[in-house]
Structure 1
Amino acid sequence: MPYVPRRLRVAVLVLAAAWAIAGCGSDTAPPEDEKPPELGACRVLTPDDVAQPSNTTDPVDCSEAHTAETYAVGELPASFDHADHDDEELGAWAYTTCSDAFQKFLGADESLVMRTIVSWAWFRPTEPAWDAGARWYRCDVVGGGEQSKEYVDLPDTAKGLLLGRPKDRWMVCADGPTVAGSVKVPCTEPHQWRAVTTISLGDAQDDYPGDRLVEVKTRDFCSDSVGAWLSYPVDYDFGYTWFHQAEWDAGNRRSVCWAKTDQ
């Protein structure tokens, strides 16, 4: 299985998971203990928290240790007023909304955010609040990705984290004999592979070109791209992460190229 960054996996899980179906909105007020999210709030979240569609963890002061920061909040479009809690369209909408805001918040382009150790997750109201008519969303930057057993602490704010030349502590590397299935770690930790570039495989309106074409195009590009990144040595190893139709349908159009390094 190729490595899927957390910001993508969250969107894909939203499309594929079989959560219980909630009722449509009503005029009943949402539960009093579930308030709309606050922009800039910090929390101590774990990978288990991020795996859930909703989160009611209490915020902490951003000067204290925290692993998540809310960077985008708002009301869902009116088209979701009568949608089910697990409506498939929610995942696609959230992917576009949160990923675009993620790039702007970190100060990076699409290629760079796919090579950072930090990722994003989004949350909706709990099912009781959804049933009562709540229709907000919350996007959080978190200090880790899909394979993280625990998250790293974020700075007081992650805004502008990737501006200029990002520090290695925020870039993603892989610790293992191959890229596929290896543990993804910050590049300040021991590693054998570094994510060095990405390739765009299509535009937003394009249909999925198929597994074979995506893999071949990714492989050929990464072979040349990694060679250039390494200044064209005689021998070098490279790896690549490519994605399937589920990720494509969620909005991803890029593959990641990895260079084998001596740190």
Structure 2
Amino acid sequence: MRGRLTAGMTLAALLLNVALAGCGSGLPAGADGELADDWVPMAQVKGIVPEVGSCFDSRPAPSVNSLVKPVPCGEKHLAEVAHVGTFTGDDDPGPEQLAAAYAECDTKTADYLGGPWWRWRLQLHLTIPMSRAWEGGARWFRCDLVEVSSANFDEAWTERTGSLKGDKPAALLVGCANAVSKNDRIDSLTEAPCSSAHNAEYIGFFRAPRTMPYPESDRQWFALYRQCSELATGYVGVTMSQWYRLSTIAWPAYPEAWAAGDRRVRCVVYFGTKKVKKTVKGTKGKGLPGF
């Protein structure tokens, strides 16, 4: 279960359903049978620290080989480093350290982009050194930005050219969307211009507490709805009692990312079968279905 929608304070039964060689007998050419002579010394691995603004053509992963070389951002790539931080201590980072690193990534990435990353069709990935580099003393972590074809599909990564720092294409902004339901489930949520007819809009983002398990029960989902609703009141300009006339979609990170410490939750207002042709931001409910 990837996400859920609630109609006001009543827990609705609608759930967001996201789509989300054999061995030869001889040695290969160029191999000498000696394993250790081609290894990079530990000190060299430790000394390779990513640089802010560098780009990589490899897919995001929880940990990476420190020796992977960046590519020019003007060429096709998948990830761009917006910030590089440092872990303290010698133990592998646990949930608390990962959560703190994500929080730092959120803040520093906003400085790099000129606004919070979730405003655009982007994802923020935390990347740490592989175990061998960690054992060699590497303590850095990377905050990688990745463009996606849809904000709601975690692995819809797409290649891009050019840096995300500075001016960005207007089409990269995430604002309004069209939600399609099938059999009492949200089947898809596709970005759309706010000036066109749409029935949903992104209203905010937050990170759930690191101690919170991936939501399964109604009570756990309600905790997410509550925070989304609090964000929405400020975004729309209404009171909490007024907000409950509308429905809210709480869209957490996929379970594997959640288990790795990523507690991101996107918040979306949903009008059901009704549609509007404007943003809900600052409207105070005027012209919105239910008001």
Q: Which has the higher contact order (CA 8 A, sep 6+)?
A: 1
TM range (shorter): 0.5 to 0.7
Give the gaps of 5 or more residues in structure 1.
5-27, 229-235
By how many angstroms is 1:73 displaced? 1.4
By how many angstroms is 1:96 displaced? 0.9
Q: What count of residue pairs does the alignment treat as equivalent?
A: 217
* Deviation digits for residues 190-233 of structure 1 (CA, Å, limit 9, x no counterpart): 9955433137799x89x9995435435646975996798xxxxx
Question: Is residue 2:60 matched to residue 1:50?
Answer: yes
Question: Is residue 2:254 matched to residue 1:241?
Answer: no
Letter of the 1:83 partner, please give it: D
147-156 vs 94-103, greater mean Cα deviation:
147-156
Q: Which residue of 2 aligns with 1:63?
A: 74
By how many angstroms is 1:150 displaced? 3.8
8 A contact 2:175–2:202 mirrored in 1: no
By how many angstroms is 1:128 displaced? 0.8
TM-score, scaled to structure 1: 0.60
8 A contact 1:75–1:137 mirrored in 2: yes
Percent of aligned pairs with the same residue? 21
Cα 1:55–1:215 change in 2 (3 A) is same
Q: Which residue of 1 aligns with 2:91?
A: 83
By how many angstroms is 1:90 displaced? 2.7
Q: Secondary structure of 2:142's match?
A: strand
Cα 1:148–1:262 change in 2 (3 A) is farther
Higher strand share: 2
Q: Which residue of 2 aligns with 1:232?
A: none
Letter of the 1:63 partner, please give it: G
Q: Secondary structure of 1:89's match?
A: helix
Distance 1:128 1:201 in 2: 30
Root-mean-square deviation (CA, aligned residues, Å) is: 4.7
For the pair shown, which has the larger CA radius of gyration, 1 or 2? 2
By how many angstroms is 1:126 displaced? 0.8
Give the gaps of 5 or more residues in structure 2.
5-40, 214-218, 239-244, 278-291
Question: Is residue 2:133 matched to residue 1:125?
Answer: no
Letter of the 1:97 partner, please give it: E
Aligned with residue 139 of structure 1, among 136, 143, 152: 143
Higher helix share: 1
